[in-house]
Chain A
Amino acid sequence: MTPPPASKTDHPSGDNRFKLLDRTIARFQSRGDALIEVLHSAQSIFGYLENDLMVYIARALRLPLSRVYGVATFYHFFNLKPKGRHAFVLCMGTACYVKGAEAIQNAVAKRCGVSFGETTADGAVSLVSARCIGSCGLAPVAVLDDDVAGKLSVDGAVERVGQWIAEPEQVSS
């Protein structure tokens, strides 16, 4: 295996985002036990963990690729597929469950035509279920993009998702 591309040289793809990632790797002195921190950083920079990205991280931290892949798939927080333009994160904690999150889950999934954990075919909406976002006083809660919506109703949730689906597809830069 060739030594990892040191942070001094640019990534062959010319993608500047790798420089940001290299900075995190350098901060942890390429230590293998910083793998989770590096994956966090990679996901926040790239949005999701592509196979090539995991290969890059494995080399940089001098870890077997199986370890990187194993850790990335073990933790729920890491995505191996790109996310939709909008994210509907429904809290499925106990308090939200008791207050009717399941009905919202079913209605929203029906409206989107995909189940939770998936993204609609046109890439408009990702449906995610969260364990508990800790805003139990406002149950049922969902995070719509970065906006926390508390005391959500079934109709309200379906309407919001409907707006996202109806949105014209933006030209991606």
Chain B
Amino acid sequence: MTIEELEERAASEQQRQAEFKKRVLTCTAAGCVSCGAGKVVGHFRAQVKERNLAKEVEVVETGCMGLCGSGPLVRVAPDETMYKNVDLEAAHQIFDEHVVGGKPVAAYAVDPKMPFFTRQVKVVLENCGRIDAEKIEASMAAGGYEALARALTEMKPEEVIEEVRKAGLRGRGGAGYPTGLKWSIVRKAQGDQKYVVCNADEGDPGAFMDRSVLEGDPHRVLEGMAIAGYATGASQGYIYIRAEYPLAIERLKTAIKQAERAGLLGNRIMDSALSFRIDLRIGAGAFVCGEETALMRSIQGRRGRPRPRPPYPSEKGLWGMPTLINNVETYANIAPIIRNGSAWFAAMGTPKSPGTKVFALAGKICNTGLIEVPMGVPLREIIEEIGGGTPEGTTFKAAQTGGPSGGCIPAEHLDLPVDYESLQLVGSIMGSGGMIVMDSTSNMVDVAKFFMDFSVDESCGKCVPCRSGTKQIALLLEKIRSGQATPDDLALLEELCVMVKETSLCGLGQSAPNPVLSTLRFFRKEYVDLLIPKLVYEPHEA
């Protein structure tokens, strides 16, 4: 495929879409499907057939539209009215009155001026919920593969890396390592074969950003990986994805096949010298495989056990060859950077953390769902305006970010700007973007115990501090929770947390005590209240 052919296919798809009077888009991401989006789509299809409207109305299944707590969601284009809680009855009414009659149904409509929509800036999610994720043409019509074409024809690999470096993009998996720097290390590394790996092992409980991107716009990730392949000199890519995401796996398989057929993956992509293919590797339910060295072992069919670094994967990775590992969201940022330029990207967010970040907002909050905001936005804006605050009658207590490796941010830090450094200052981490809101009913000792049980289960067992330390921490927490602990136990708990943090081999162990340390820091009283006071010797009166 040449650039002209790509443009032609994009234009003809745009033309095709413009010919419909109305397009009915229904979110069929995992959240909406589980509240009955399938039936709603079926109803729309049946109606179109029954009323013979196939030439005027198109029914489209899309990825996540964001407001996951109020699904199923439906959007009617071109006037962009969005509906929530669409059951069969609502679907019937919407089809009758809006799609056919042309009059929006106010009862189910979502207010587009809601802060949930107006405060978001969509870069990664720009196509999510707007295009048919199973059609490559839909992606092309929205600008897909344009960046790959430009990189291959107008830019040298070094220029691509320079552009990513200038944009200031940092790894969206949580650690925030500069992406451009990582790419240039892999480019310079010596090796007959190089690999590009996409980490889609989104293990943090409460996080579903990567799943939504893969379900809603898989081609964007493939394009980002192909550009990375061109920039680093790799010819083979792997996407390591969790087995728990069957729909994302299916959509990725479809997308890879379509891209191969279109000549956008495979040999001599767009008649250039680049050959790049992508294979899927399905995980098998091990949280530790999100750690890059464990992930590589898992791709090679072994137990996912981390190894010490260095050597870093960028020098010695898969099968001992230089390997680039980035997260889904990082790759999803690449195409817009190449398309719009690094200056455009660097202008968003903060100078140290440019761009946007996708968060999965869940827990005790009114608008649960998927959001994308510029880096550096105050936490208060995310919780109170975009999220709509906690449900009536309760007050905000803490936001948990970074999953089992992160910490809780209490109400007094609500004005904290959300970026890598600020979150670290209060003892949490950015993580991959899960944000769980807790209200006054949540007990922080329970929360700490919950995360510690998770870490005990998921510890791979290789190093002692993590294997035994997390277990002992969990036992101590249980002792505190059941009201049998003394102040000495609390001191022991703190000592143990620091020990596990400092001596574990990989990121999982090093960060496992974070939920305990951070709740101790901000909610110490809840621990102390559960302790038995130290027995004081009081001599009997003679």
Interface residues of A in 29-74 (CB under 8 A from B): 31-37, 39-40, 67, 70-71, 74
Query: Hey, which chain B residues are within 8 Å of A148, CB to CB?
Result: 30, 33-34
Determine if A97 is an interface residue (Cβ-Cβ < 8 Å). Answer: yes
Q: Which of A34, A37, A131, A136 contacts B368 (CB 8 A)?
A: A136
Determine if B202 is an interface residue (Cβ-Cβ < 8 Å). Answer: yes
| B206 and A95 form a contact (CB under 8 A) | yes
| A134 and B34 form a contact (CB under 8 A) | no
Q: Which of A35, A75, A137 contacts B362 (CB 8 A)?
A: A137
Q: How far is the CA of A48 from the CA of B211 in the complex (A)?
A: 26
| B434 and A137 form a contact (CB under 8 A) | no
Q: How far is the CA of A94 from the CA of B448 in the complex (A)?
A: 11
| B436 and A141 form a contact (CB under 8 A) | no
Query: Hey, which chain A residues are within 8 Å of B436, CB to CB?
Result: 94-95, 98, 136
| A71 and B303 form a contact (CB under 8 A) | yes
Quick one: CB contact mask for B282-318 with A, threshold 8 Å, 1 for yes? 1111110000000000111111100000000000000
Query: Hey, which chain A residues are within 8 Å of B298, CB to CB?
Result: 36
Q: How far is the CA of A98 from the CA of B361 in the complex (A)?
A: 13
Chain B's nearest CB lies how many Å from the CB of A119?
18
| A76 and B35 form a contact (CB under 8 A) | no
| B244 and A130 form a contact (CB under 8 A) | yes
Determine if B510 is an interface residue (Cβ-Cβ < 8 Å). Answer: no
Determine if B281 is an interface residue (Cβ-Cβ < 8 Å). Answer: yes
Q: Which of A34, A77, A136 contacts B284 (CB 8 A)?
A: A77
Query: Hey, which chain A residues are within 8 Å of B369, CB to CB?
Result: 137
Query: Hey, which chain A residues are within 8 Å of B245, CB to CB?
Result: 134
With A94-B450, A136-B208, A136-B362 known as contacts, the answer to whether A71 contacts B302 (CB < 8 A) is: yes
Quick one: CB contact mask for B35-71 with A, threshold 8 Å, 1 for yes? 1000000000000000000000000000000001101
Determine if B403 is an interface residue (Cβ-Cβ < 8 Å). Answer: yes
**Which B residue's beta carbon lies closest to that of A133?**
B244
| A134 and B285 form a contact (CB under 8 A) | no
| A132 and B206 form a contact (CB under 8 A) | yes
Chain A's nearest CB lies how many Å from the CB of B466?
15
Chain A's nearest CB lies how many Å from the CB of B383?
14
Q: How far is the CA of A67 from the CA of B305 in the complex (A)?
A: 13
Quick one: CB contact mask for B439-452 with A, threshold 8 Å, 1 for yes? 00010000100110
Query: Hey, which chain A residues are within 8 Å of B34, CB to CB?
Result: 135, 138, 141, 148-150
| A71 and B31 form a contact (CB under 8 A) | no
Q: How far is the CA of A114 from the CA of B218 in the complex (A)?
A: 41
With A36-B281, A134-B202 known as contacts, the answer to whether A77 contacts B35 (CB < 8 A) is: no
Query: Hey, which chain B residues are within 8 Å of A75, CB to CB?
Result: 283-286, 304
Interface residues of B in 247-301 (CB under 8 A from A): 281-287, 298-301
Q: Which of B205, B281, B400, B437 contacts A132 (CB 8 A)?
A: B205
Query: Hey, which chain B residues are within 8 Å of A164, CB to CB?
Result: none
Chain A's nearest CB lies how many Å from the CB of B328?
13
Q: Which of A35, A40, A76, A139 contacts B282 (CB 8 A)?
A: A40
Q: How far is the CA of A49 from the CA of B298 in the complex (A)?
A: 19
Most-contacted residue by chain B among A94, A98, A138 (CB, 10 A): A94
| A136 and B304 form a contact (CB under 8 A) | no
| B285 and A97 form a contact (CB under 8 A) | no
Chain A's nearest CB lies how many Å from the CB of B196?
17
Quick one: CB contact mask for A9-33 with B, threshold 8 Å, 1 for yes? 0000000000000000000000111
| A92 and B69 form a contact (CB under 8 A) | no
Quick one: CB contact mask for A83-115 with B, threshold 8 Å, 1 for yes? 000000000111101110000000000000000
**Which B residue's beta carbon lies closest to that of A41?**
B282
**Which B residue's beta carbon lies closest to that of A139?**
B362
Q: Which of B243, B286, B363, B454 contacts A99 (CB 8 A)?
A: B363
Most-contacted residue by chain B among A31, A37, A99, A135 (CB, 10 A): A135
Contacts beyond the supplied A39-B284, A75-B286, A137-B68: 20 A-B pairs with Cβ under 8 Å: A31-B301, A36-B284, A36-B298, A37-B282, A40-B282, A75-B283, A76-B284, A94-B204, A95-B206, A131-B244, A131-B285, A132-B208, A134-B245, A135-B31, A135-B34, A135-B68, A136-B68, A136-B436, A138-B71, A139-B363
Per CB-CB distance, the 3 closest pairs between chain A and chain B, nearest first, are A137-B68, A148-B34, A75-B284
Q: List 13 A-B contacts (CB under 8 A).
A: A35-B302, A40-B243, A95-B362, A95-B368, A97-B205, A134-B207, A134-B244, A136-B434, A137-B31, A137-B71, A138-B68, A148-B33, A148-B34
Residues of A within 8 A of B (CB): 31-37, 39-40, 67, 70-71, 74-78, 92-95, 97-99, 130-139, 141, 148-150
